[in-house]
Amino acid sequence: MPIQVLMPALSPTMTEGNLAKWHKAEGDAVSSGDVLCEIETDKATMEVEATDEGVLGKILVPEGTAAVPVNQVIALILEEGEDAASLDAVVAAMPPPAAAPAPAPEAAPASAPTPAAAPAPAPAAPAASAAPAPSPRPAGERIFASPLARRLAAEAGLDLAAVAGSGPHGRIVKRDVEAAVAAGVAAPAPAAAAPAPAAAPPPVAPEGAAPYTEVPHSTMRKVIAERLTYSKQAIPHYYLTVECALDTLLELRGTLNDKAGDDGVRLSVNDFIVRAVALALAKVPAVNASWGDDAMQIYERVDVCVAVATPNGLVTPVVRDAARKGLAAISTEVKELGARARDGKLMPEEYQGGGFTVSNLGMFGIHEFAAIINPPQAGLLAVGAAEKRPVVKDGALAVATMMTCTLSADHRAVDGAVGAQFLQAFKGLIEDPLTMLL
Amino acid sequence: MAETSFDMVVVGGGPGGYVAAIRAAQLGLKTALVEREHLGGICLNWGCIPTKALLRSAEVFEHMKHAGDFGLTAKDIGFDLGKVVQRSRAVAKQLNTGVGFLLKKNKVTVFDGHGRLTGKGGLHVSANGKGIADLTAKHIVLATGARARSLPGLEPDGKLVWTYKEAMVPDVMPKSLLVIGSGAIGIEFASFFNSLGSDVTVVEVLPRVLPVEDEEISAFAHKAFEKQGMTIHTGATVKSLKKAADSVTATVEKDGKTFELTVDRVISAVGIVGNVEDIGLEDTAITVDKTHVVTDEWSRTGEPGVYAIGDLTAAPWLAHKASHEGVICVERIAGVPGVHPLDKALVPGCTYCRPQVASVGLTERAAQERGHEVKVGRFPFIGNGKAIALGEPEGLIKTVFDARTGELLGAHMVGAEVTELIQGYGIAKTLETTEAELMHAVFPHPTLSEMMHESVLDAFGRVIHV
């Protein structure tokens, strides 16, 4: 995570100052002790020295800006090994200056929300860390977590990079790990759900029964249990797995994101997946269907559900008419739905219905998995991590970024060959991503 | 007429209310505080602070009595009860003035009167039965506190049967004293009067003294009190009090048998009740459960725009809990990002009897009842150089860990100055430290705090000094 340079207080009573001059430009190397900029108050002008090493990644407050509040972030320094892409996530996650404490006396009461409208106590997760997109934190980024959170995560086999922190300054604390473990269990991934018997605490009761605490079921938990039990018992699942090469897609994504600029939409790999699923469903409409007692229901519109792990359990908000939406529109919608899903603020029409579901556990480093179908849908695509793997290319061993996807399909509605056609179409779009820009 | 429209009005100027008001003002809310009696509330005027002043006098007196142990000579030692009380009142007065200054500095408008909700964000303030202001506010925080509970047949009369209030300003030194209730309030007064020479008897209805503390700590304190000359009856009930001109005869029932006890004075310290009367709760959606207002984790009551904090609400009934709850309530209202509800397992408790008792988090038994497999560490004061040098070799520091995760679940202490030590474990718990960081931390020598380290080491079989 880039280092934040804050507006310093030059005296105990200083509340704001002017940013007079930057001595470093974006992209300049910075080492500890270098003069970064000059700050002036009504009393004095003072040089601000860097306390960290790296590259000045972004200047957030241009020179000549007056009345910059103390502790506002004025620049970001990239540490060694960090790439500039991480800047945007930080900028996006930063609260707008107005949200800072100690607002102007007149402004505060007016903007003070009533409790009903106040921000939900649920962790305000930065979108990047818990969103269902294969975007773990860049390697080497420092993760702030309490000692207990680290130990609980290690015990649960959970990668802290995939956990959003709700403690002071985004620190990961016990409750975040507990929520992440619970959310992982809620995801339709049987492999992740079953706690290994060996990890259970040693029994204390003479009969050998392990001690436990009872957590009453929430309504959501009950619904998840009921629907997935029904699905696994009533739907004859079969599974088809395909490997997709991602290098071209990643290159295209990089180009598009570079062109998008600071205000543009930053596309994730997951956005491409959702778009490819939508187009593949349009091409093989038999998969976009539900088994009914008397007739097959073939959907006339492509509505794709995206599985989102929330502290309370799994929810699947719907991207409506996804085949007619571009990557940017899908990206914006998925981010927005995901954020509200985690805050528990989705409207029923936003998570009900849908013809097909995408579940992505790539950010947890899951190689591949087979998921349970989200009834009454007939198919679900389980997406694994994008990872560099040895592949045979033109008869020689090469390294490529690969992603394994597994289709779970309802054999009553979708025969194996039809499922295979769908995956073929999907793989074609992913490996030749320009075709999905059309 | 002063301004009557505010963003926030706080009713009650105790440690919950005045802190909430100052925090609200810091956050830019236009804030008023309504207080009917003393700024600083019971805590500062009739509770925490003046009792600490009294107990300090008792402590110095104890040291004087044992001057010989330190190679010192003190002859004709004694005390003037009036002056001891006078000092205690002066301390309270000084701090009361200080609170007024802090509120003024933060531009909180103070109304000296009694507040009563009138619905829809309205609050009527009266003094001596006359209305002095009608305020309106988007948010009203009730922080009216609590008062001594009175049991039928044992009602305090202020002369022979005291509450904490009379006990704090005694006009005579009772030769013998019965304290009913061995919670923090009862046991602190028992300690004070015992040190000054009263013949003190404590009657506790529960099976042990300081019933909220860890059982081992209760037992340790019980022994120490008896060694100092107190008589303690646990699992016992005072059935009735018969008053004479200058004495009271109590009928005490224990193990199915009754006996009589005649004492000069009685202190009733059988708990508290919330001040829920005459503040306009009747016509609101606010729920009251056993004299305490029911709130959610953000201190919201059933009535929109009305909040309640501190002793008026659920336990623990401690000044620092009230303050912290007030700050969280206000920050939530002001939309400060990153605010979390109060975790009551992080609220320490301190009792200033002799020896002192302090704790934070779960007792060993509570931890087991919640399904934790525990590791428990203990370290006695007798193994600590500083404790010996201070002449305070009696005490115990006990730590309770989750055996699986190493989470510090609770810490329990009895002995000299432990009320000043407990916060170390409080910070550790708040930062979610495990035994590894506590073992890794360097504790300065020679201090009592070294025992906090040793207790952690002991829990994991690595103790050095026993």
Contacts of A42 (CB under 8 A, 6+ apart): none
pLDDT in tens, B268-321: 999 999 999 999 999 899 999 999 999 999 999 999 999 999 999 999 999 999
Q: Which of A257-266, B152-161, B178-187, B334-343 has the lowest mean pLDDT?
A: A257-266
Domain of B389, CATH number, reads: 3.30.390.30
- Whether A104 is covered by a domain: the verdict is no
CA-based nearest distance B329→chain A, Å: 10
Whether residue B55 sits in one domain with residue B91: yes
Contacts of A154 (CB under 8 A, 6+ apart): none
Output the six-digit token pair for A214: 């009872």
User: Beta B272-274 vs B146-148: how paired, if at all?
Assistant: antiparallel
- Whether A151 is covered by a domain: the verdict is no
Whether residue B193 sits in one domain with residue B124: no
What domain range is A323 assigned to? 220-437
Phi, psi for B95 (deg, rounded to 5): -75, -35
Whether residue A411 sits in one domain with residue A265: yes
Contact B436 A147 (CB under 8 A): yes
Residue A124 has pLDDT above 50, yes or no: no
Could you tell me if B56 lies within 8 Å of chain A, comparing CB atoms? no
Structure ipTM: 0.80
Contact A108 B332 (CB under 8 A): no
Task: Tell me what the mean pLDDT of segment A238-242 comes to.
Answer: 96
pLDDT at A52: 80
- Whether A109 is covered by a domain: the verdict is no
Q: Of the residues A53, A75, A95, which one is the last residue of a structural domain?
A: A95
Share of chain B above pLDDT 90, in %: 98
Nearest CA among A353, A291, A273, A360 for reference residue A321: A353
Q: Is B162 helix (H, G, I), strand (E, B) or coil?
A: strand
- Whether B154 is covered by a domain: the verdict is no
For residue A112, give the chain B residue with the closest CA.
B334
Q: Of the residues B238, B270, B302, which one is the last residue of a structural domain?
A: B270
pLDDT at A95: 56
Question: What contacts 24+ positions apart, CB below 8 Å, involve A398-404?
Answer: A400/A245, A400/A246, A400/A247, A401/A245, A401/A246, A401/A247, A401/A250, A402/A243, A402/A244, A402/A245, A402/A246, A403/A134, A403/A243, A403/A244, A403/A246, A403/A269, A403/A362, A403/A430, A404/A241, A404/A242, A404/A243, A404/A244, A404/A367, A404/A368
pLDDT in tens, B213-250: 999 999 999 999 999 999 999 999 999 999 999 999 99
Output the DSSP codes for B44-112.
Answer: HHHSHHHHHHHHHHHHHHHHHHTGGGGT----S----HHHHHHHHHHHHHHHHHHHHHHHHHTT-EEEE
Whether residue B387 sits in one domain with residue B363: yes
| Residue A97 banded pLDDT, cuts 50, 70, 90 | very low
Q: Of the residues B227, B248, B270, which one is the last residue of a structural domain?
A: B270
Q: Of the residues A67, A95, A123, which one is the last residue of a structural domain?
A: A95
Task: Tell me what the mean pLDDT of segment A55-75 comes to.
Answer: 86
Q: How many domains does chain A have?
A: 2
- Whether B350 is covered by a domain: the verdict is no
Whether residue A379 sits in one domain with residue A234: yes
The model carries a pTM of 0.60
pLDDT at B2: 65
Whether residue B49 sits in one domain with residue B9: yes
- What separation in angstroms does the CA of A222 have from each of A217, A226, A228, A349? 6, 6, 10, 20
Task: Let me know: does B345 contact B314? Beta carbons within 8 Å.
Answer: no
Chain B residue numbers with beta carbons less than 8 Å from the beta carbon of A121 are: 297-298, 339-341
CB atoms within 10 A of CB B148: 19
Task: Tell me what the mean pLDDT of segment B323-336 comes to.
Answer: 97
Whether residue B208 sits in one domain with residue B247: yes
pLDDT in tens, B20-39: 999 999 999 999 999 999 99
- Whether A173 is covered by a domain: the verdict is no
| Residue A208 banded pLDDT, cuts 50, 70, 90 | low
Contact A112 B405 (CB under 8 A): no
- Whether B432 is covered by a domain: the verdict is yes
- Whether A379 is covered by a domain: the verdict is yes
Contact A119 B336 (CB under 8 A): no
- Whether B466 is covered by a domain: the verdict is no
Task: Tell me what the mean pLDDT of segment A6-28 comes to.
Answer: 82
CA-based nearest distance A118→chain B, Å: 6
| Residue A64 banded pLDDT, cuts 50, 70, 90 | confident
A:B CB pairs within 8 Å = 92
| Residue A205 banded pLDDT, cuts 50, 70, 90 | very low
- Whether A318 is covered by a domain: the verdict is yes
- Whether B442 is covered by a domain: the verdict is yes
Separation between Cα atoms, residue A54 and residue A77, nearest integer Å: 6
Whether residue B434 sits in one domain with residue B366: yes
What domain range is B36 assigned to? 5-148+273-344
Q: Which of A95, A103, A149 sits opposite B28 (nearest CB)?
A: A103
Contact A119 B335 (CB under 8 A): yes
Task: Let me know: does A233 contact A243? Beta carbons within 8 Å.
Answer: no
| Residue A139 banded pLDDT, cuts 50, 70, 90 | low
Whether residue B227 sits in one domain with residue B209: yes
CB atoms within 10 A of CB B342: 17
pLDDT at B279: 96
Q: Prior bond to A311 cis, omega within 30?
A: no
Question: Could you confirm whether A411 is annotated as catalytic?
Answer: yes
CA-based nearest distance A112→chain B, Å: 5
Chain B residue numbers with beta carbons less than 8 Å from the beta carbon of A108 are: 7, 27-29, 334
- Whether B18 is covered by a domain: the verdict is yes
Residue A403 has pLDDT above 50, yes or no: yes
Nearest CA among B296, B244, B289, B298 for reference residue B266: B244
Task: Let me know: does B333 contact B139? Beta carbons within 8 Å.
Answer: yes
Residue B166 has pLDDT above 90, yes or no: yes
Q: Of the residues A95, A116, A148, which one is the last residue of a structural domain?
A: A95
Q: Which of A47-56, A302-311, B56-65 has the lowest mean pLDDT?
A: A47-56
Q: Which of A104, A109, A124 sits opposite B7 (nearest CB)?
A: A109
Domain of A47, CATH number, reads: 2.40.50.100
Whether residue B283 sits in one domain with residue B264: no
Which residue out of A148, A166, A212 would a mutagenesis test of the B interface target, given it has the greatest number of B Cβ atoms within 10 Å?
A: A148
Could you tell me if B371 lies within 8 Å of chain A, comparing CB atoms? yes
Contact A113 B407 (CB under 8 A): no
Output the six-digit token pair for B369: 């009842």
pLDDT at A207: 59
Chain B residue numbers with beta carbons less than 8 Å from the beta carbon of A115 are: 298, 300, 304, 332-333
Separation between Cα atoms, residue B124 and residue B132, nearest integer Å: 8
- Whether A126 is covered by a domain: the verdict is no
CB atoms within 10 A of CB B399: 30
Maximum mean pLDDT: which of A27-41, A42-56, A316-330: A316-330
Mean model confidence pLDDT for chain B: 96
Whether residue B396 sits in one domain with residue B285: no
Angle ∠(B114,B118,B119) on CA atoms, nearest 5: 140
Whether residue B122 sits in one domain with residue B165: no
Whether residue B336 sits in one domain with residue B418: no
Domain of B26, CATH number, reads: 3.50.50.60
Nearest CA among A33, A12, A93, A13 for reference residue A60: A93
Output the six-digit token pair for B421: 């030590």
Task: Let me know: does B238 contact B250? Beta carbons within 8 Å.
Answer: yes
Chain A residue numbers with beta carbons less than 8 Å from the beta carbon of B404 are: 155, 201
Q: Of the residues B344, B371, B394, which one is the last residue of a structural domain?
A: B344
pLDDT at A121: 39
For residue B406, give the chain A residue with the closest CA.
A148
Separation between Cα atoms, residue B174 and residue B159, nearest integer Å: 12
Task: Let me know: does A365 contact A255? Beta carbons within 8 Å.
Answer: no
Please give the residue that has the higher pLDDT: either A96 or B385: B385
- Whether B368 is covered by a domain: the verdict is yes
- Whether B192 is covered by a domain: the verdict is yes
Whether residue B24 sits in one domain with residue B110: yes
Please give the residue that has the higher pLDDT: either B5 or A4: B5
Separation between Cα atoms, residue A304 and residue A275, nearest integer Å: 9
User: How many CA atoms, within 13 angstroms, populate the side-chain half-sphere of residue A220?
Assistant: 16
Q: How many domains does chain B have?
A: 3
Could you tell me if B437 lies within 8 Å of chain A, comparing CB atoms? yes
- Whether A88 is covered by a domain: the verdict is yes
* Three-state helix/strand/coil letters over A385-419: CCEEEEEEECCEEEEEEEEEEEEEEECCCCCHHHH
> Which residue's entry shows tokens 């055996």?
B403
